[in-house]
Structure 1
Amino acid sequence: MTNRLQAIVLTGMSGAGKSTAMQAFEDFGFFCVDNLPPALMPRLIDMAEHASGKLSKMAFGCDLRGGELFEPLLMTVQEIRDRKDVTVTLVFLDADDATLVRRYKASRRRHPLSMGGRLLESIQAERQKLAGVRQAADVVIDTSNLSANQLKQELSRRFVEHAVRLPVHVVSFGFKFGVPLDADMVFDVRFLPNPHYIDHLRPYTGEDEPVYNYVMQWPQTQSFLQKAEEMLDFLIPEFQREGKSHLVIGVGCTGGKHRSVAVAKHIAAHLRDIAVVDLTHRDFRRED
């Protein structure tokens, strides 16, 4: 093989952030399986390598919830290391006892080793059981002082070779049909001259050259696009830095056929240099 599969085996203390980390790896494009008996990892890797759409990145979550099934973890990791087609990294998430107690009290969840005793005793028992795994780990991350977003950033820094570009969905729409429910921000372009009132332009949409050129010819259109796109150029990296996994930008005019379509098309083309962009015209086929 020329390209080795990247496998992350994620374990650690209960309450140290494994669920958050697994969600982060999923956002990074990893195929993720949580609460997996370690003995099944080689079989899943084999299945992934023989699948028609071959996977290149996998993340497995394993912890003491598996009971006896968790015990072969280190032996299985070594078995995977011996393969020439896989690069495996054992990641251990940790946090101090006070932080784990606070998180468990806030979540009101039961500790997996709780047998009716004190929470702190369960945490200390788990720490003792996992001491060997922690010592064998390739990477140990202390999450005591990390927020969910900071943990995601730390994982990205360590395990994502190239920055994952933010998925951005640009959707044009007509205000008379309602604002998209999932829009994170909305631009209202009803202030622009309306091609609807030009007889020979009315049948076309903003995707058609005559209407697109009509909308783009106005100084106010160019001024608006300059300001809007400068703002988005600033916001998108900031949203991504704060852990946002996707962004929906609505562009609306009255009927969603002419002005919003043309402007959305221009904004989407502009953003393709910094984001993974999807463009949808929600209402441009509707009847007036």
Structure 2
Amino acid sequence: MQSINQLSQQFISLCKDKRKLSDHTLKAYQIDLKQFMQALDENKSIKDISKVDLSQFHQFLVDAELSNTSIKRKMACVRAMFQWLEREEFIELNPFHKFQLDIKLPKRLPRNVPHSDLKRLLKQARKNCKNLWVESSNTYSVSQKRMLNEFTSLIALELMISTGIRVSELAGICLTDIYINEKKIKILGKGARERFVYLTDQEIAKLLKNYIESRAICAPHCDHLLINSRGEPASTQFLRKLIKKLSQQAYTQLKVTPHMLRHSAACELLESGLDIRFVQRLLGHSSISTTEIYTHVTDSALQKKITKANVRKRIAS
């Protein structure tokens, strides 16, 4: 019988090769399963793991003073591995069968970027590219490798605001995924699910085409759309740094992150009157209940309209 460590490595390989999980998720799973093994007796067989051991692991996480969100995610990882072990008949009985663990999570609404700050960010990104602008051709021209980063920052911001894609999805876009004439981009989302996002007007389509031509100055070693000045694929960490820098330069009210831009795109679309089912498809949510979170965030728009209507004043006057 294989050891717990060997089986957990097989499960990680499955998640990578078959489920196509992101590197970020795979790293988290590896940490989760390592902690699970730390909480158990090293000599214990996988077949002997019971509900008692699961409770022991939960207590191990509690003692480590982790948040309820982290504990719930780690338990979910272990549960997923045991479901796989049961399907593959490594074990006869899944210890998670009828195992109940009530972990209550606080209901937190996503933070979105105020409309005024979105305008500041776009204005700043365009200002940073001012020296690249060629008036005669109405295009940007990158004459030095180091200058490409400013253009990359503008493109990243424009795409995240207009499409609501995740930063990992943005980093994963390849040139072959872009259909300029059709104004759409193919996205590989969570769980290897494919979807299309759309370029809303000719201006952003032209901007994207301009960037694709400009990136050639760095002699890129890859097919990825976004690259750094060394010609390497722009990592999620690199893109986060670009957005952070823009936020600081623009003096935004909040410290803006790529995920906040995703929230903001969702709110803007819903406030514009777009059907929630279309927003769900655009954002790549598998469940509409995830998209419904944003309907609470847009309550600010509702409050403004109710205040403007002022029913009480109309009745009293």
With normalisation by structure 2, the TM-score equals: 0.27
With normalisation by structure 1, the TM-score equals: 0.28
Higher strand share: 1
Higher helix share: 2
| Structure ranking higher on relative contact order (CA contacts 8 Å, 6+ apart) | 1
The structure having more radius of gyration, on CA atoms, is 1
